[in-house]
Chain A
């Protein structure tokens, strides 16, 4: 079957808009003013505590670290505890600044560069920001932080800088400062491991994505 998609779209679009515009003014050039919305307010001084309590409530775990150089050992420990397969997919080295010491990965971990292929047991990425209100980690897709790492691995470990925790969903968007034409392909707000309750409403972790989610919280000491 072949249709002229452009023409098809033009005709349909016109029909739909005609019907919509019966009831309201034609697509007015200036933006309508959306009514102001209220945002839930949180105790700013307790952001980290609020975040961690909500985050833990989503069946996730965390450890605090004060230095990135601890990451390889902690990843190894996590892998030893949770997975027979010690393969790790990450692009973490690309976010290290020049003055930071390169990470010293133990040989027992077999590292592979992204994208994830489904064969790696552990994925390591970093969160751009995190939401205290919901206990969510927010990851934006990029060369440094490819989306497949978030979904194709069995265990997902995410690094978050404590300073990047914001109070609510709105402040998260503000922090990301997104605009059309400049969007990361994907923004993933992640709150706990993959889950399903599709069989007899019984919650099971690890439906399609990671079976576990672990946070390494980089605190400022």
Chain B
């Protein structure tokens, strides 16, 4: 067996760059990005739903691409640029997707909304919002137990068309 066995560390030192700020942290090695955001950085806008990659509530952007933060270790994101729902507003002005969600009443309980909004922002950047069917297909990784889907699609459609 290797000589490293005796001195194994199960902690990691990381530098998390979230919404333009840098947060150094010492974490258990298996801390997910989701838990680091919520419990260490106190950025609780990102929600924990299934915690298993099935619901999309914890969607954030890593280097501009949408991912689920529950199936990512914070250690894997060391040095990556993370954007959460708290980082979308521009100097206090909500992002157009956030405005559209409000206008179209695209939520009921609101628990999935941060994930829906982050996913929608990425979807628009990917250029995948040409039709309602396309929006539904490429938003399918975000579940809404209140079934606000028609209004979510309408909100995204409005931003895509504007």
Q: Do A and B assemble together? A: no
B→A interface (CB under 8 Å): none
